[in-house]
């Protein structure tokens, strides 16, 4: 049977292509997503719009948006775990922190090159997740949540007490980043563009994973793990893989976060960060990628910008938003766009049922 499968895989000639193209119109039927080309146009437009921000905004909001983008990268990783694979995690802030500390240490001791720092953050986030995740992925549901919480708290505790990384004072004195050996990027706008570029790249990469066969495997695990085993899958391996991937994404996010702040402290990787990341996913709509990014922006806006002007009651607002979303928009912000298509889907399904009976 192996040989058969092998032979069939090799045989991907023209006939298959025509089969698929003949069936192409099915995609635009009920329940279809945005067609590929339109989606690409929307993505380019959004990135272009975001890229224009430093041209019209003053430095303060630009650095606030930089932080939102870095945080959104963390949230994309959390969404990959929680929304796509069905593993709600409270430990991703640990890998975010590992990435941030790595970037600062590299910045202080080795090079101001932003690319090297981000890559180092990615690798260290991946390694940290690979080391700690092996235990976590054996559990599911609430036990998984508690294990990731324990991992997050432990790593936070290490950062808080270990003098080599500054203990509770954190690490300061990171020089401004540069790119391709050029001058230091001091202006908020330049840092913003760099962070935007990396965030867009991460978004695209994770979107590719979600649409790939592996993404399908992850959704299968989310929906029905027992059935996956009955189909011959070994889900533990796939879960471990996605945990490492999410750790790497969080590491990049942490590096970007540190590059903007040029400082890192244990507070950047605490429980609050992990909880806000999970909250962003819920508000944005678990499983969609752009929804949680919007959620990330909203959450950070309320915490950092709005909170000051309403007497520090930001958490209260976030709580209210959370409750409102859970009751009014169970699919989060992302659920708002699909509503019409879903309604159409529902009515057509009902009609079909009536016809059948």
One of 41, 135, 186, 208 touching another protein (CB under 8 A): 208
Question: Contacts with another protein in 140-179 (CB under 8 A)?
Answer: none
The SS3 call for residue 28 is helix
Q: Is 220 in the site for another protein (CB under 8 A)?
A: yes
Q: How far is the CB of 333 from another protein (least distance, A)?
A: 18
Task: Return the number of the residue (5 or 328) whose C-beta is nearest another protein.
Answer: 5
CA 128 – CA 237 distance, rounded (Å):
17
Q: How far is the CB of 248 from another protein (least distance, A)?
A: 13
Task: Return the number of the residue (20 or 163) whose C-beta is nearest another protein.
Answer: 20
One of 37, 109, 340, 353 touching another protein (CB under 8 A): 353
The DSSP string of 159-183 is: HHH-GGGTGGG-B--PPPPBSTT--
φ/ψ (deg, to 5) at 339: -55, -45
Matching residue, tokens 């996956």? 228
For the record, the structure tokens of 190 come out as: 């330049």
Task: Return the number of the residue (80 or 93) whose C-beta is nearest another protein.
Answer: 80
Q: How far is the CB of 325 from another protein (least distance, A)?
A: 19
Q: How far is the CB of 79 from another protein (least distance, A)?
A: 15
Q: Is 211 in the site for another protein (CB under 8 A)?
A: yes
For the record, the structure tokens of 191 come out as: 């840092």
Q: Is 3 in the site for another protein (CB under 8 A)?
A: no
Count, residues near another protein per rule CB under 8 A? 49
Q: Residue 20: is it exposed, middle or buried by C-beta count within 10 angstroms (0-12/13-18/19+)?
A: exposed
Alpha-carbon dihedral angle through residues 235, 236, 240, 241, given to the nearest 10 degrees: -30
Q: Is 16 in the site for another protein (CB under 8 A)?
A: yes
One of 216, 316, 324, 330 touching another protein (CB under 8 A): 216
Q: How far is the CB of 6 from another protein (least distance, A)?
A: 8
Task: Return the number of the residue (169 or 347) whose C-beta is nearest another protein.
Answer: 347
Asked whether the beta carbons of 125 and 95 are under 8 A apart, the reply is yes
Question: Contacts with another protein in 23-82 (CB under 8 A)?
Answer: 23, 26-27, 29-32
Asked whether the beta carbons of 77 and 253 are under 8 A apart, the reply is yes
- The 226-265 contact track toward another protein, x by CB under 8 A, reads xxxxxxxxx--xx--x------------------------
CA 334 – CA 292 distance, rounded (Å):
8
Task: Return the number of the residue (162 or 227) whose C-beta is nearest another protein.
Answer: 227
- Rounded to 10 deg, the angle between the 290-300 and 59-79 helix axes is 130
How many angstroms from the chain centroid is the CA of residue 184? 28
Task: Return the number of the residue (233 or 301) whose C-beta is nearest another protein.
Answer: 233
Q: Is 219 in the site for another protein (CB under 8 A)?
A: yes
Q: How far is the CB of 174 from another protein (least distance, A)?
A: 33
Among the residue ranges 95-103, 220-228, 272-280, 300-308, the one whose residues contact another protein (CB under 8 A): 220-228
CA 78 – CA 66 distance, rounded (Å):
19
CA 315 – CA 130 distance, rounded (Å):
33
Q: Is 12 left (phi over 0), alpha (psi -120 to 50) or beta?
A: beta
- Nearest partner of 292 among 99, 75, 16, judged by Cα: 75
CA 137 – CA 245 distance, rounded (Å):
13
Among the residue ranges 122-130, 168-176, 260-268, 346-354, the one whose residues contact another protein (CB under 8 A): 346-354
Where along the sequence are the contacts to another protein (CB under 8 A)? 1, 4-5, 8-9, 11-12, 16-17, 19-20, 23, 26-27, 29-32, 208-209, 211-217, 219-220, 222-224, 226-234, 237-238, 241, 345-346, 349, 353, 356
């Amino acid at each position: 049977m192996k040989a058969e499968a092998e032979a069939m895989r090799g045989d991907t000639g023209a006939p298959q292509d025509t089969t698929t193209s003949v069936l192409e119109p099915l995609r635009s039927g009920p329940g279809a997503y945005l067609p590929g080309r339109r989606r690409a146009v929307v993505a380019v437009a959004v990135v272009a719009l975001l890229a224009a921000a430093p041209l019209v905004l003053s430095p303060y909001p630009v650095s606030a948006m930089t932080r939102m983008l870095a945080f959104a990268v963390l949230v994309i990783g959390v969404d990959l775990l929680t929304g796509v694979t069905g593993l709600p995690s409270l430990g991703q802030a640990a890998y975010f922190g590992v990435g941030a500390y790595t970037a600062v240490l590299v910045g202080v001791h080795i090079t101001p090159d932003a690319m090297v720092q981000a890559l180092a953050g990615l690798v260290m986030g991946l390694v940290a997740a690979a080391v700690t995740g092996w235990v976590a992925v054996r559990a599911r549901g609430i036990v998984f949540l508690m294990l990731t919480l324990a991992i997050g708290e432990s790593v936070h505790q290490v950062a808080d007490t270990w003098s080599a990384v500054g203990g509770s004072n954190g690490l300061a004195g990171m020089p401004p980043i540069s790119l391709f050996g050029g001058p230091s990027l001091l202006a908020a706008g330049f840092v913003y563009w760099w962070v935007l570029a990396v965030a867009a790249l991460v978004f695209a990469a994770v979107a590719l994973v979600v649409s790939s066969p592996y993404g399908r495997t992850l959704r299968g695990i989310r929906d029905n793990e027992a059935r996956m085993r009955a189909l011959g899958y070994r889900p533990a391996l796939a879960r471990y893989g996605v945990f490492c991937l999410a750790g790497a994404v969080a590491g990049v996010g942490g590096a970007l976060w540190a590059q903007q702040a040029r400082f890192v402290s244990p507070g950047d990787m605490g429980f609050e960060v992990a909880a806000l990341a999970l909250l962003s996913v819920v508000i944005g709509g678990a499983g969609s990628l752009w929804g949680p990014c919007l959620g990330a922006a909203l959450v950070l806006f309320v915490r950092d910008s709005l909170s000051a002007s309403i007497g520090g009651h930001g958490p209260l607002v976030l709580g209210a938003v959370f409750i409102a979303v859970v009751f009014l928009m169970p699919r989060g912000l992302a659920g708002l766009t699909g509503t019409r298509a879903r309604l159409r889907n529902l009515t057509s399904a009902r009609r079909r049922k009536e016809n059948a009976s």
